[in-house]
Structure 1
């Protein structure tokens, strides 16, 4: 009985998206279209420009790997997104809503609805996770603090 309750409460592993349109080439094109929007955004453009100097291609390839791992579950990405984002002191919590707006618009224009739904759902969860990591961190207790 307890095992059945535990199994229902435990998050289920996401399955790879299987759709004839969605492969690395498709995801790479989507990533590039998305970053065209981000780079031209008055708020986000300067944030990214402060971190990515010169050739954007390595970042775009890394983000293609990331999204291939998220969507296709192919293990292409081996980075650590949370530490990479925590170091960005100029990012504000509301920037994630702007990011998600550009992402939604990009996938809605490029993807059939059932594919867009998967991309947006996973992007929203990633944004929530990064916001929690960046803006809602508990400070460690100080030495000698009563507990």
Structure 2
């Protein structure tokens, strides 16, 4: 039997977005527009260029899968974003604010307001998760106190 005390603290299960505009093609277009903005940013562009090099199409397809899984709940993505981001030593915490700014601009310019709000809310949670994983790691057992 589920524990009501635990269940009340869980966020409600996200449902797949059901909007006639939002399908894989739409998400892929949004992803490409967003990464076009990121690639031209003087701070983020070089970080992505160093990690992706000239292999953008596979990355864009992977990010389309990722966002389809996030928005449509279709299981299209099976990667592990945290380990991939932990390798990026040049990323600073405030880079996520830049990333979110471009994501908001892209979603707001391409989506109806209610659709944009869902994309943005989920992007904010993803960014928060990645920031916590990358910059707020607790020391493991046996670590000495400073």
Fold match, TM over 0.5? yes
> How much does 1:6 deviate?
3.1
- Aligned residue for 1:59? 59
Aligned residues, how many? 144
Q: Secondary structure of the residue that 1:9 maps to in structure 2?
A: coil
- Aligned residue for 1:97? 97
**How has the CA–CA distance of structure 1 residues 142 and 4 changed in structure 2, closer, same or farther, with 3 Å as cutoff?**
closer
Mapped pair 1:71 → 2:71: yes
Gaps of 5+ in 1: none
Gaps of 5+ in 2: none
Once the two structures are superposed, what CA deviation does each residue of 1:72-131 show, in whole Å capped at 9, x if it has no partner? Answer: 000000000000001100000000000000000000000000000000000000000000
Greater Rg over alpha carbons, structure: 1
- Aligned residue for 2:120? 120
Give, in whole Å, the separation in 1 of the partners of 2:141 and 2:55: 42
Mapped pair 1:23 → 2:11: no
> How much does 1:20 deviate?
0.3
Once the two structures are superposed, what CA deviation does each residue of 1:18-53 show, in whole Å capped at 9, x if it has no partner? Answer: 100000000000000000000000000000000111
Give, in whole Å, the separation in 1 of the partners of 2:90 and 2:3: 45
**How has the CA–CA distance of structure 1 residues 142 and 48 changed in structure 2, closer, same or farther, with 3 Å as cutoff?**
same
- Aligned residue for 1:138? 138
- Give the TM-score taking structure 2 as reference length: 0.94
